[in-house]
Structure 1
């Protein structure tokens, strides 16, 4: 996607029809500059792209229609305002136009209708319309530039645009061309959060066919599997939400602690609070491990405990029976008869019939199985003793684990009490009001504890549901009728599974390649823009992290801008390079596109050196760069844009309600 022009009609301060042409993309002169002081319409210029493409108003004042036009309207009269953007994408020229109509009511209040979007493109010298519904246009624009990434490419610097902590992977994958692979995976298998294919997928379809061709028992097992998968899907979704909330509350707690650190008289106390926080975290982690060990011990070793009441009754009953054990363990009557028949004992003694030795061995037939239960009773008594000893060991182990859990909880309570006492001391210093901070900390910590407990329960529930799914799947496979129809569907399923595995392997390989490339460009841009030293990288959700010596660093205004532009510049550079690889014919796949950067007040938080560095690096990294900038910042930025600037426009303020766009 590259911008060709934008046209306004009675849109906010831009009275009448006014137009800006943007520089060509494939030339070195890829920069368009919009000069204007504060309140001259620079923010309107940048945010008008978001309004036109997505119908979202991010303006401080909601009015769209130019005030001069509104003031001239009489009751019953109508007016309109629009923004029209011409852009090129995938070899086609598109025109996106969003219009909003207004009606002046008899009471002198202007009534605004919903805005209407229209998207057309040129193909074979013929103008065609993208869909008849607004939803069709929304889908088309989303496929070109996802809304989640729009604020990256249409940047309002004075708002300190920050890269959010939510999962950006979906939007980034669309941008750099991995969405097709993702859609293939979903088509074949369903969402990746599901261990088993969903009914709406290809694999799920043939799985359903196998079920339908099988008996009732198989259908019941399959229904149990589907129900468990639905539940585990909800559990996994909640686990993700909990983890995000935990990060959010940890950040809030850290923000309050940072404020307290900066209060000079309370620094020493705050250092102890930081130490307490680390000790609490360690104790909570230890408690979680002990809880896990406690549950595992109960799961694996509790049989002896439950058998104990029965074993006691059994032992008492055996005593009542008074069965004397005169037998020999492990020897049955059949073995004794065999010795007598052979006429020789195992020890070599002659067992001649009628001899004393013969009679001595023969009498044991009365005391060994199957004729006597004495040996069996003896075995049972040994078993009872063994289980009794195991029970003692089990109870002792469980008591030790429970004691350790209580010790962890007691330590956590002690640390939290100490933390509250320190907060009281900080408040008594009198130079900093900590009432609100203390109140919020209590709330946030309580919520954090609840979230962690819920997370533990949800993880346990996930494990149980996983076992239920495995059991139901095994039962389904066991109960299926092995008729010809089922075998045929099994073959189709295997084919779909093989294709899915191939797509999955290729997807993971390509995503890793793109992630490595993106990471490399982010680091290069950041190092070239920033004069100091920081380590920068992206995580698996494509969020950006800034560290120094392995620790997170505070992000100031200037550093935030550099971090932001490193990310955005690397995104567009990566997207362009992936597309270039496709054009070179390496693999014949469509995997990328070019994107513009439209920036307002990009340098408001940067010094002269960083302004020059940012301008130079962004002009080199992107195919199209559009600056809305004040004259004072432009004087530094243009030093880094040698030979790149193609067009310069000036926003001339006629009045508080009118701005004129003039090319200079």
Structure 2
């Protein structure tokens, strides 16, 4: 889309017919409109919006020039009209809008007849007219109204553009993601419609299962909505927390203490996690081999007594009298040698048997002492391990306690500061609300998990009933097919959306670094909230304007790339112009010069309305790219005083 000409007739300050021709050549793509406050700069931008969308963004909704109104007689009529000539996808368009007014009394008019039409040239050279019925639909194909705020904006809107709640939808629409999102929504409707077509009335159990499934699905939908609402609240309070933190950080007198407090917050959380882990490890160590530890006094006493015993006899470990009797009666040893009566082998076995209880307890005492020594060693090792874990916990809790005390001391000192006392309370309140909503979010996510599990189980049960009926089996196959397609589209949407968001962040940061003379970096989160990686920064109006200009420039650059990649499909223009009113308001000289370096390359066509003082800083950089320059001058009365109701546009270059 390239705007070639704007013609106005009796539109607000611009009395009579006045025309601006916009520069659109590749090397000189900038048109500059210079005017002082109240001269009509903003009116020109809003005239474009009125012609395209019928949008009247003035407090006084009467568009007819006031001088014309004052000179009308009763019942006399006069009209306001505007025409935009533009080129879009190789086609020339004339977009026209008219509003007729009728005088209803001295200095009073009422809007009556409205007209709008589009004229365009067909390939055969014939001119075709699109009137009221198809007007809006065709304008939306050229530049959707929901996206217009990113290409037609003034100084005030520039400072608010990244704060818009609709920013995510607008960006997704510009990047073509809404097509995929609509496909997911449509397929969801198809799946639900197919499910309603299942006939389970012949089987009572199946019908009850289907009813139960519907109840669980309804609950799941509600919980998903609840989760979205909680996420909105969480984002709000997280943003609030960041905002208050930024304002606290901005107070240079307490910067060091604020940094210390933030460090302690993180450190306390780390220590709490380490204490929790250490306590779990202590319990684990304590529970293992505790019997040996608590039996140590008895074990030591028993070992001492056994050490003085004269009955200790060493024998084959774990050997018993019955085992020896078995070998003798069997007649051969485990080694295979035959045991004969009166042999040396039998004699050795009988000697070993004599050591075994009940004939003797020496071997039993020996075995007990060996086991007691083993348990005593385990107990001593256990004691050392438990002591280490206990000392770790004590050390961590001491550091945690010192950190808590130090943080509370800092909190008290910060509260005493008059300038930030209220901010501290708000910061803490935001923290509290975040904790509440995170807890609520966890519960909702748990319920969602249960619902999904129940739905899977009920689906499996239903499949059994469905497959027994041919018609239901066919519908089930269609549902599965639609679900697979939906899952594929959703996956494609998520992957593409992630790539686009990351690309947008990269381009925005590239422009931001060219404009901003500091070291900040911008991030764009999943909700397309545009913020700084250093969230503790206190953002001035000038810095916000710089950030938002970088965002708009990056958005236009990315939109061009995306649209060119899809240029084989008729999806709209390959570029949009940037039309700006007062883009340098509240911006210092250095930033104006930096912005001027990238602005001519931000879009194929740039239209800027600004004050003379701002243009003086920008002209040195942008002059080589400027094709047209206009000045808006107020008419004067006989005394040489400016008339606020009449302005004229004069071409100076």
TM-score, structure 2 as length reference: 0.67
For the aligned residue pairs, the C-alpha RMSD in angstroms reads 4.3
Please give the secondary structure, in 2, of the residue aligned with 1:163: helix
Contact 1:155 1:161 in 2 (8 A): no
Q: How many angstroms does 1:64 deviate by?
A: 3.0
Give, in whole Å, the separation in 1 of the partners of 2:211 and 2:483: 21
**Structure 2 residue 648 is matched with structure 1 residue 660:** yes
Q: Pick which of 554-563 and 215-224 moved more.
A: 215-224
Q: Which residue of 2 aligns with 1:20?
A: 20
Q: How many angstroms does 1:285 deviate by?
A: 10
Q: 1:144 to 1:173 in 2, by over 3 A?
A: farther
| 1:459-497 per-position Cα deviation (integer Å, ceiling 9, x unaligned) | 344334333433432332233252222233333334434
Q: How does 1:333-412 map to 2 (within 5 A)?
A: none
Contact 1:80 1:100 in 2 (8 A): yes
Give, in whole Å, the separation in 1 of the partners of 2:115 and 2:272: 55
Please give the secondary structure, in 1, of the residue aligned with 2:197: helix
Q: 1:223 to 1:144 in 2, by over 3 A?
A: farther
Q: How does 1:430-445 map to 2 (within 5 A)?
A: 432=419
Contact 1:53 1:96 in 2 (8 A): yes
Of 214, 217, 221, 1:233 maps to 221
Please give the secondary structure, in 2, of the residue aligned with 1:23: coil
Q: How does 1:585-624 map to 2 (within 5 A)?
A: 590=571, 593-624=574-605
Contact 2:466 2:473 in 1 (8 A): no
- Unaligned runs of 5+ residues in structure 1 are 191-199, 294-347, 349-412
Give, in whole Å, the separation in 1 of the partners of 2:407 and 2:211: 48
**Structure 2 residue 416 is matched with structure 1 residue 425:** yes
Q: 1:258 to 1:608 in 2, by over 3 A?
A: closer
Q: How does 1:63-82 map to 2 (within 5 A)?
A: 63-82=62-81
Please give the secondary structure, in 1, of the residue aligned with 2:533: strand
Q: Which residue of 2 aligns with 1:182?
A: 181
Q: 1:216 to 1:72 in 2, by over 3 A?
A: farther
**Structure 2 residue 533 is matched with structure 1 residue 547:** yes
Q: Over alpha carbons, which structure has the higher Rg?
A: 2
Q: Which residue of 2 aligns with 1:629?
A: 610
Please give the secondary structure, in 2, of the residue aligned with 1:641: helix
Q: Which residue of 1 aligns with 2:167?
A: 168
**Structure 2 residue 541 is matched with structure 1 residue 557:** yes
Q: Which residue of 1 aligns with 2:465?
A: 479
Q: 1:75 to 1:433 in 2, by over 3 A?
A: farther
Q: How does 1:138-537 map to 2 (within 5 A)?
A: 138=136, 140-142=138-140, 144-158=142-156, 160-164=159-163, 166=165, 168-187=167-186, 189-190=187-188, 200-201=189-190, 203-211=191-199, 215-256=203-244, 259=247, 425-427=416-418, 432=419, 451-537=437-523
Contact 2:512 2:546 in 1 (8 A): yes
Q: 1:615 to 1:604 in 2, by over 3 A?
A: same
Q: How many angstroms does 1:209 deviate by?
A: 3.0
Please give the secondary structure, in 2, of the residue aligned with 1:540: coil
Q: How many angstroms does 1:170 deviate by?
A: 2.5
Q: 1:225 to 1:23 in 2, by over 3 A?
A: farther
Give, in whole Å, the separation in 1 of the partners of 2:9 and 2:492: 48
Q: How many angstroms does 1:213 deviate by?
A: 8.5
| 1:549-594 per-position Cα deviation (integer Å, ceiling 9, x unaligned) | xx553333333222212211122222222333344x6xx6858631
Q: How many angstroms does 1:156 deviate by?
A: 1.1
Q: 1:209 to 1:508 in 2, by over 3 A?
A: same
Please give the secondary structure, in 1, of the residue aligned with 2:24: coil
- Unaligned runs of 5+ residues in structure 2 are 281-329, 331-403, 636-642
Give, in whole Å, the separation in 1 of the partners of 2:268 and 2:6: 56
Q: 1:164 to 1:158 in 2, by over 3 A?
A: closer
Please give the secondary structure, in 2, of the residue aligned with 1:228: helix
Give, in whole Å, the separation in 1 of the partners of 2:202 and 2:163: 49
Give, in whole Å, the separation in 2 of the partners of 1:276 and 1:140: 59
Q: How many angstroms does 1:272 deviate by?
A: 7.8
Q: How many angstroms does 1:527 deviate by?
A: 2.4
Please give the secondary structure, in 2, of the residue aligned with 1:85: strand
Q: 1:214 to 1:504 in 2, by over 3 A?
A: farther
| 1:487-519 per-position Cα deviation (integer Å, ceiling 9, x unaligned) | 333333344344444444544444444344433
| 1:298-317 per-position Cα deviation (integer Å, ceiling 9, x unaligned) | xxxxxxxxxxxxxxxxxxxx
Contact 2:201 2:207 in 1 (8 A): no
Q: How many angstroms does 1:600 deviate by?
A: 1.3
Q: 1:284 to 1:572 in 2, by over 3 A?
A: farther
**Structure 2 residue 2 is matched with structure 1 residue 11:** no
Contact 1:578 1:591 in 2 (8 A): no
TM-score, structure 1 as length reference: 0.66
| 1:212-261 per-position Cα deviation (integer Å, ceiling 9, x unaligned) | 68745434433433443344333323322332233323434554565556
Please give the secondary structure, in 1, of the residue aligned with 2:620: helix
Give, in whole Å, the separation in 2 of the partners of 1:415 and 1:243: 33
| 1:592-616 per-position Cα deviation (integer Å, ceiling 9, x unaligned) | 6311101111122333343233223
